[in-house]
A and B are shown apart, each in its own frame.
Chain A
Amino acid sequence: MKPAPTLSSAFLQPPGQTLPAALLALRQQRGTALADLPLPTRKTENWKYSSKYLKLTDEIAATLPVSGTPAAAAPGYCAVLRNGVLVSDASNLPAVAGIRVRRFSELSDDEAATLAQRLDGTLDRQAVQLAGLNSARFEDGLLITLEPEAVLDQPLFIIHETGAESSGSAFPRIYVDAARHSKATIVEEYTSSGTAVAMTNTVTEFTLGDGASITSVRLAMEEQNVQHLGATGVRLLDNARFESHCVGFGGPLRRHDLQVRLEGPGAECKLNGVVVTQGKQHYDNHTTIEHIAPHCNSEETYRNIAAGESHAVFNGRIHIHQDAQKSNADMNNKNLLLNNGAEIDTKPELEIYADDVKCAHGATIGQLDETSLFYLVSRGIGRRDANVLLTMAFINELVDQIPVEAVKETAQARLSDFFDQTFQEA
Chain B
Amino acid sequence: MATTDKEVKELIKREYEHGFVTEIESDTFEPGLNEDVIRRLSEIKQEPEFMLEWRLKAYRRWLEMEEPEWAHVDFPKVDYNSISYYSAPKKKEDMPQSLDEVDPELLKTYEKLGIPLHERAKLAGVAVDAVFDSVSVATTFKEPLEKAGVIFCPISEAVQKYPELVKKYLGSVVPAGDNYFAALNSAVFSDGSFVYIPKGVRCPMELSTYFRINAANTGQFERTLIVAEEGSYVSYLEGCTAPMRDENQLHAAVVELVALDDAQIKYSTVQNWYPGDENGKGGIYNFVTKRGACIGKNSKISWTQVETGSAITWKYPSCVLRGENSVGEFYSVALTHNYQQADTGTKMIHLGKNTRSTIISKGISAGRSSNAYRGLVKFGPGAEGARNFTQCDSLLIGDRCGAHTFPYIESKNKSAIVEHEATTSKVSDEQMFLCRQRGIDPEQAVSMIVNGFCKEVFKELPMEFAVEAGKLLEVSLEGSVG
Asked if B417 contacts A365 (CB within 8 A), the reply is yes
How far is B361's CA from A350's CA once the two chains are assembled, in angstroms? Answer: 14
Report chain A residues within 8 Å CB of B407.
Answer: 347-349, 363
Report chain B residues within 8 Å CB of A367.
Answer: 414-415, 417
CB of B108 within 8 Å of the partner chain = no
CB of B396 within 8 Å of the partner chain = yes
**B399, B405, B408: which contacts A322 (Cβ < 8 A)?**
B399
**A337, A355, A358: which contacts B413 (Cβ < 8 A)?**
A337
Give, as a whole number of angstroms, the nearest-CB distance from A12 to chain B: 28
CB of B128 within 8 Å of the partner chain = no
**B381, B398, B408, B426: which contacts A345 (Cβ < 8 A)?**
B408
Asked if A363 contacts B412 (CB within 8 A), the reply is no
Asked if B417 contacts A349 (CB within 8 A), the reply is no
Report chain A residues within 8 Å CB of B413.
Answer: 337, 340
**B403, B409, B414, B426: which contacts A346 (Cβ < 8 A)?**
B409
CB of B418 within 8 Å of the partner chain = yes
CB of B404 within 8 Å of the partner chain = yes
A307 nearest in chain B by CB position: B414
Asked if A358 contacts B414 (CB within 8 A), the reply is no
Asked if A348 contacts B412 (CB within 8 A), the reply is no
What's the interface size class on A, roughly? 35 or more
CB of B416 within 8 Å of the partner chain = yes
CB of A384 within 8 Å of the partner chain = no
Asked if A358 contacts B425 (CB within 8 A), the reply is yes
Asked if B417 contacts A361 (CB within 8 A), the reply is no
CB of A352 within 8 Å of the partner chain = yes
Asked if A363 contacts B409 (CB within 8 A), the reply is yes
Q: Mark A333-344, 1 if CB is under 8 A from B, else 0.
A: 001011111111
Give, as a whole number of angstroms, the nearest-CB distance from A197 to chain B: 28
Number of interface residues of B (CB under 8 A): 35
CB of A366 within 8 Å of the partner chain = yes
Report chain B residues within 8 Å CB of A344.
Answer: 410-411
CB of B117 within 8 Å of the partner chain = no
Given A322-B399, A347-B407, A347-B409, verify A363-B420 contact (CB < 8 Å). Answer: yes
How far is B398's CA from A337's CA once the two chains are assembled, in angstroms? Answer: 41
**B404, B417, B423, B426: which contacts A351 (Cβ < 8 A)?**
B404
How far is B415's CA from A227's CA once the two chains are assembled, in angstroms? Answer: 30
Asked if B394 contacts A352 (CB within 8 A), the reply is yes
Report chain A residues within 8 Å CB of B421.
Answer: 360-362
Give, as a whole number of angstroms, the nearest-CB distance from B466 to chain A: 28
CB of B422 within 8 Å of the partner chain = yes
Give, as a whole number of angstroms, the nearest-CB distance from B401 to chain A: 7
Asked if B410 contacts A361 (CB within 8 A), the reply is no
How far is B416's CA from A338's CA once the two chains are assembled, in angstroms? Answer: 11
Asked if B414 contacts A348 (CB within 8 A), the reply is no
Report chain B residues within 8 Å CB of A366.
Answer: 416-418
Give, as a whole number of angstroms, the nearest-CB distance from B268 to chain A: 28
**B405, B414, B420, B424: which contacts A337 (Cβ < 8 A)?**
B414
CB of A144 within 8 Å of the partner chain = no
Asked if A345 contacts B399 (CB within 8 A), the reply is no
Report chain A residues within 8 Å CB of B414.
Answer: 337-340, 342, 367
Asked if B415 contacts A359 (CB within 8 A), the reply is no
Most central of A325, A338, A345 by chain B CB within 10 Å: A345
Report chain A residues within 8 Å CB of B400.
Answer: 322
Asked if A343 contacts B411 (CB within 8 A), the reply is yes
Give, as a whole number of angstroms, the nearest-CB distance from A328 to chain B: 11
Report chain A residues within 8 Å CB of B397.
Answer: 355
Most central of B396, B397, B402, B409 by chain A CB within 10 Å: B409
Give, as a whole number of angstroms, the nearest-CB distance from B403 to chain A: 5
How far is B387's CA from A364's CA once the two chains are assembled, in angstroms? Answer: 11
Most central of A49, A342, A346 by chain B CB within 10 Å: A346
How far is B292's CA from A319's CA once the two chains are assembled, in angstroms? Answer: 33
Give, as a whole number of angstroms, the nearest-CB distance from A247 to chain B: 22
Asked if B422 contacts A360 (CB within 8 A), the reply is yes
Report chain A residues within 8 Å CB of B420.
Answer: 348, 361-364
Given A343-B412, A347-B406, verify A354-B418 contact (CB < 8 Å). Answer: no
Report chain B residues within 8 Å CB of A350.
Answer: 394, 403-405, 422, 424
Given A322-B400, A355-B396, verify A361-B408 contact (CB < 8 Å). Answer: no
B379 nearest in chain A by CB position: A365
CB of A353 within 8 Å of the partner chain = yes
Give, as a whole number of angstroms, the nearest-CB distance from B450 to chain A: 14
**A349, A355, A357, A364: which contacts B405 (Cβ < 8 A)?**
A349
Report chain A residues within 8 Å CB of B75.
Answer: none
Given A349-B404, A350-B422, A360-B422, verify A355-B398 contact (CB < 8 Å). Answer: yes
Asked if B403 contacts A345 (CB within 8 A), the reply is no
Report chain B residues within 8 Å CB of A355.
Answer: 396-399, 401, 426
Report chain A residues within 8 Å CB of B35.
Answer: none
Asked if B404 contacts A365 (CB within 8 A), the reply is no
How far is B397's CA from A342's CA once the two chains are assembled, in angstroms? Answer: 42
Report chain A residues within 8 Å CB of B418.
Answer: 363-366
Interface pairs A-B: 4 shortest CB-CB: A355-B396, A359-B424, A350-B405, A337-B414
B interface residues with partner A (beta carbon < 8 Å):
70, 379, 381, 394, 396-426
30 inter-chain pairs at a CB distance below 8 angstroms, sorted by A residue, are: A322-B399, A322-B400, A340-B415, A341-B381, A343-B410, A345-B411, A348-B422, A349-B406, A349-B407, A350-B394, A351-B402, A352-B394, A352-B402, A352-B403, A353-B402, A355-B398, A355-B399, A355-B401, A357-B424, A359-B424, A360-B422, A360-B423, A362-B420, A363-B407, A363-B409, A363-B419, A364-B420, A365-B379, A365-B411, A367-B415
